[in-house]
Amino acid sequence: EQQRQAALLEQQRIDAQRQAAFQEQQRQAALREQQRIEAQRQAALQEQRRQQALLIQQQSTPSQSNLSGLFGSGHEVVQEFAGQSRVEYNLNMQGQGDVRRTNF
C-alpha cells in the first residue's frame, strides 16, 4: 500500500512538473507574440513618421509642377496695333488680371 501511494505521489509530482513546463512554454510563446506585435507597431510608427517628414519636405520645397515655378508669378502679353494702340494683359497666380489699353 505504501509503495502504491509513493508511486501515485511520484506520478503526481511528474504531472505537476509537466504542467508547469507546459505553462512556462505558453507564457514564453505569448511573450514572443507580444514582442512581435510591439515590433510591428514600432515599425508602423516609424514608417508613419518617415512619411510625415517626407510630406513636410515636399510641401516646403517648391515643386517643378507648380505653375509659378514654370511661369513665374504671372503672365504678361503685350499687343501693338500698327503704332495706333497698345494692349497689355497681366495675369497673376491668384487668377486676377489687369488689362491696360494705350492709344497713340
More confident residue, 101 or 39: 39
The stretch 41-61 carries a mean pLDDT of: 89
The stretch 53-76 carries a mean pLDDT of: 65
Amino acid at 1: E
Give pLDDT, residue 14.
97
Helix H or strand E encompassing 18? helix 2-60
Q: Which one, of 67, 99, 72, lies nearest residue 86 by Cα?
A: 99
For residue 35, what is the DSSP state? H
Give pLDDT, residue 60.
77
CA pair distance 92, 71, nearest whole angstrom: 10
pLDDT band of 38, cuts 50, 70, 90: very high
The stretch 24-48 carries a mean pLDDT of: 96
C-alpha dist (Å) from residue 6 to 3, 12, 15: 5, 10, 14
